[in-house]
Structure 1
């Protein structure tokens, strides 16, 4: 069930991040870079993807606050093209090292938390406050880009570790 207020959002974001970081704590670069058994997607790919989507959310928020047109999910892409977009993101990150991706993910998480702590309840959960969020509140978008993505990444990574 999605968070319905700022305190719940902060709590679930920190909780899911903590679980994910616990799973990642003993993973070395070799394991992180190994192609996943089912689809070839590595743990490194997965974490780079999650960092990228936090970047997207932060960019959407920044553009919206500046009165710019917010292009979701990304310029030139529609929601029904996510498979292609996500593959493009994975390819762009392939040359990066595991420590660099892990550091970037941790940094983006810190930026997300800092933003959530700065925003008040109205900014996060008043329906219709942000034109680009459509039927969702900003808080729901933040949860989808943060806690929900952390949860799914953790599930995927744990399965990948078992399968490897």
Structure 2
């Protein structure tokens, strides 16, 4: 169930990040770098989640500035997420495990700061400017933060089970 207030969003963001952080602290670098059948590693998933926080913040600020908001990114359509994610993995291939974890923590801090600096009305009072849909900024923040934290944890648990 999505959050409907700033307080709920703060709570769920901290709760889901805490769970993910606890999980990733247990993963050795060699395990984090192992690729699965889709050529994706745990490191890739963590770096991806950090990147999507950046995307959301960019969407928000572009909309606030009256600029065109490119969803999910300039040159890509939502139907091209598989290609976008493959291109992102290539762009982030230089990251090692500690760097990916540090990046996620940094971006989580930026997301938390964003949420804390907005009023409830700014987060849930109306659609996000430039989004061309009825999602509120708080809903977009939840999709890029806590929802992604949960899906990352699910991926990691499955990857660890598959590796024994």
**TM bracket, shorter-chain basis:** over 0.9
TM-superposed deviation, 1:119? 0.4
Spell out, residue by residue over 1:31-86, the C-alpha distance to the aligned partner (whole angstroms, 9 max, x if none).
Answer: 100112x4231100100110110010111112122221111110011111111101
> After the TM superposition, which residues 29-108 of structure 1 pair with which residues of structure 2 at under 5 Å, given as runs?
29-36=29-36, 38-108=37-107
TM-superposed deviation, 1:135? 1.6
TM-superposed deviation, 1:129? 5.2
Q: Specify every segment of 5 or more residues in structure 2 that has no aligned partner in the other structure, as ranges.
A: none
Please say if 1:143 is aligned against 2:147.
no
Spell out, residue by residue over 1:96-115, the C-alpha distance to the aligned partner (whole angstroms, 9 max, x if none).
Answer: 11111111110000000000
- 3-state SS of the aligned residue for 2:75? coil
For the 8 Å contact 1:128–1:134, the answer to whether it is kept is yes
Q: Which piece of structure 1 moves more, 123-132 or 58-67? A: 123-132
Please say if 1:119 is aligned against 2:118.
yes
Please say if 1:3 is aligned against 2:6.
no
Count of residues in Structure 1 that have an aligned counterpart in Structure 2 = 163
Spell out, residue by residue over 1:88-144, the C-alpha distance to the aligned partner (whole angstroms, 9 max, x if none).
Answer: 101111121111111111000000000000000111101235242512111110000
TM-score, reference length from structure 2: 0.95
Aligned to 1:132: 131
Q: Which piece of structure 1 moves more, 124-133 or 100-109? A: 124-133
TM-score, reference length from structure 1: 0.95
